Chain A
Amino acid sequence: MFGSNSPSVVIACIGFPNAGKTSIFNKLTGSHYSAVNYPGSTVQYNLCTTTVNGSRIHWIDTPGIVTFSPHSDDERVTHTVLTRLDSIVPDATTTPNLLVYVADAFQLERHLMGLRVLQTQGYPVVLIITRSDLIKKYGGSIDIRRLEHEIGIPVYFVNSHTGAGLPSIDTVVSHVPPSADRCLIPDSAQLWKEASDWAISVTRTTWVPPISRHSLDRWALHPRWGGVVFILIMALFFFVIFSGASPAMDAIDAAWSLITQMLHTWLPSGRWTTLVVDGVIANIGAVVVFTPQIFLLFLATGILESSGYLARAAVIVDRPLSKLGLSGRSFVPLLSGSACAIPAILATRTLPHKTQRLITLWMIPLMPCSARIPVYGLLLVMLFHGDPIKSAVGMVGIYAVSIGVAVLIGKIVSLYSRSAADSFYIELPRYQMPHWPTILRNASRHTFQFIKKAGPAILVVSLAVWGLSQFPSVESSWLVRLGQWLAPLFAPMGWDWRIGVAILASFAAREVFVSVLAAMMALHADGVPAQLIATHLPALTTPSILALVVFFMISMQCGTTIALIRKETHSWTIPIAMTVAYVVLAYLAALVVAKSGALFGCLTTG
């Protein structure tokens, strides 16, 4: 059927959001897929290649869609897969050879409408209905043979957790028709209306228990208590991330200091030992130490999402966000931004309006991302000398002020952009127990991606700083000269030249601030472990430390963020404007804080 010269066969997995598509894709392909970038953009999709009877078969997972007339960037990917597949998979035909359409058993009527529209457009389809276990549990009945007869295509009823009922890869491939003629008529309201009548008629004999409205919504969406529940869940979210990660982070930190100390005793002391131990190994440690926190952030977001609460949270914050010209849809990108701007920027692809996307993009770099946490951690140690309660309160304060600044900037940008969205609709998925294997896998994948993205930047900067600090001689190195040359710039805030150098280095990635300070301390005070930086730093006044906090809150210091915004907006103007605005604003805000703090100090003491 598939000769070696003919185009390769592509099978695309497609469905509404929350239909359970990704877990079906994972089960079908045995999770042996890799995330691939859509050519010319950062939109990722999952691709898996298998060989069945000597033919290469590509499996593509697509973002969930509502209609087949794309509206946001991720819907555009699905649309491209459906209509211009050869632009993604070079050796494919223009349309997929077979669609695996995934529908939720509890939403059968609605989800079958999409199937009908695709069928009308001439696509060969296989239907997979998910959640057979829950239908059985609640006493529903779906006659699969009858549906198969009525729709005229193969239908499978699958337990998405165990995979029971799922056809084998070979079986799915056997449904690929030898050739097919697609009439790519665009979808229209009329087409959907007809599809609805059809869906009602084919599902007339099925009975699905109406359990979509769970008693949990009595609280989660209560006119008054809904807000309280939201705040409690968010508080728990951040508490779990910070307190849950700290034992693992302490362990990694301790292990790393042990390793570096041991290497220092074993290796002959000299320039090259410092390079390997303080330059390379210590800086790898500075990245690795974040991984528990980032992993927990992605894990907690995954739990919120797969439990169904994230959609409710979007409904709760829709009204406040509408004041910024945004909608509840911006909640997920902004929440992700408190982990890392990179996945947050990628999440803005789901936003349907350019203006909404732009405002959200302006706000994301101001969200308190995890790269700032070690910096704040160090500064809080300096402020409160390790008092855990004061530090925790300080961290909450930093978060609150950061979000306040982001809202303010969002408001300013919305005032200068034409018309924001008036529309907002979101499907509320049924509450369900999180599917742990999927969540764990996604969290590990995201954590690994973070290390891959941030790691090299941190390593290169650290090595550059090491190099600058060693030549021509340690006493009067280029780094010392550079620091002293730039000192006037940082003097008004009461920042030491070493802090100036660390700030400069932190423009590659914020967390470098801590490791560079550590590296410089090691130079001048022989083998000082990172946690002692605070006590070894030249005394900074409280206003100077607060000024540093404010600087890191606002400043744009992440090369990856700038590069990604450029890619996503296809413009240099936006990332450049953002960088200049946030660096200047950060400097001015730090100046104001330092000066007014000093003034306040004079008034209170004098």
Chain B
Amino acid sequence: MSVLSQLAIHESAIIENVGGDSSHAMRLIALGFTPGSVVSAVKESVFGGPRVFSVHGGDIALREFDADLIHVRLK
């Protein structure tokens, strides 16, 4: 199992679970990073900042800190 931040650009994966403290995990889930859904990395970061991921049809930018909390299984 790997984490979302390891996803290469245009690569897709299935979300396994979301770590971190419970309220933060709930926030990431509510944003659309729900276990079982397909996520893909769509944009490289600008100046090493947040990267953009696509999930449930929406684009969401995440810092590495948050992307590290999302455990995924590569497709």
Which residues does A use to contact B, with CB under 8 Å? 66-67, 69, 71, 106-110, 113-114, 187-189, 192-193, 196-197, 200, 208, 210, 212-213, 217, 221-224, 226-227, 311, 315-316, 318-320, 322, 327-328, 422-428
**Given known A-B contacts A223-B46, A319-B46, A319-B47, A427 and B24 have beta carbons under 8 A apart:** no
**Given known A-B contacts A109-B56, A426-B50, A428-B59, A223 and B26 have beta carbons under 8 A apart:** no
Contacts of A328 in B (CB 8 A): 49-50, 61
Min CB gap A319→B, angstroms: 4
Contacts of A107 in B (CB 8 A): 56-58
Contacts of A113 in B (CB 8 A): 30, 32, 34
How many residues of chain B have a CB within 8 Å of chain A? 38
Say if the beta carbon of B11 comes within 8 Å of chain A: no
11 more CB-based (< 8 A) A-B contacts, given A107-B57, A113-B30, A424-B65: A109-B32, A110-B58, A187-B30, A189-B25, A196-B36, A221-B52, A315-B49, A318-B49, A423-B24, A424-B50, A425-B61
Min CB gap B58→A, angstroms: 5
**Contact between chains at B59 and A223 (CB < 8 Å):** no
Instruction: Kindly state the separation between the CA atoms of A196 and B28 in the bound complex, as whole angstroms.
Output: 12
Contacts of B23 in A (CB 8 A): 67, 69, 71
**Contact between chains at A424 and B62 (CB < 8 Å):** yes
A315 to B, closest residue via Cβ: B61
Q: Which residues 25-51 in B have Cβ within 8 Å of A in the complex?
A: 25-32, 34-37, 42-50
Instruction: Kindly state the separation between the CA atoms of A478 and B45 in the bound complex, as whole angstroms.
Output: 62
Can you list 7 residue pairs at the A/B interface with Cβ under 8 Å? A69-B23, A71-B23, A107-B58, A223-B44, A315-B49, A315-B50, A319-B49
Min CB gap A20→B, angstroms: 14
**Given known A-B contacts A226-B46, A423-B66, A425-B62, A189 and B57 have beta carbons under 8 A apart:** no
Instruction: Kindly state the separation between the CA atoms of A464 and B54 in the bound complex, as whole angstroms.
Output: 60
Contacts of A428 in B (CB 8 A): 52, 58-61
**Contact between chains at B49 and A316 (CB < 8 Å):** yes
**Contact between chains at B65 and A212 (CB < 8 Å):** no
Q: What are the 9 closest A-B residue pairs judged by CB atoms, nearest first?
A: A319-B49, A196-B34, A226-B46, A428-B59, A422-B65, A424-B63, A109-B56, A110-B32, A67-B30
Instruction: Kindly state the separation between the CA atoms of A110 and B27 in the bound complex, as whole angstroms.
Output: 12
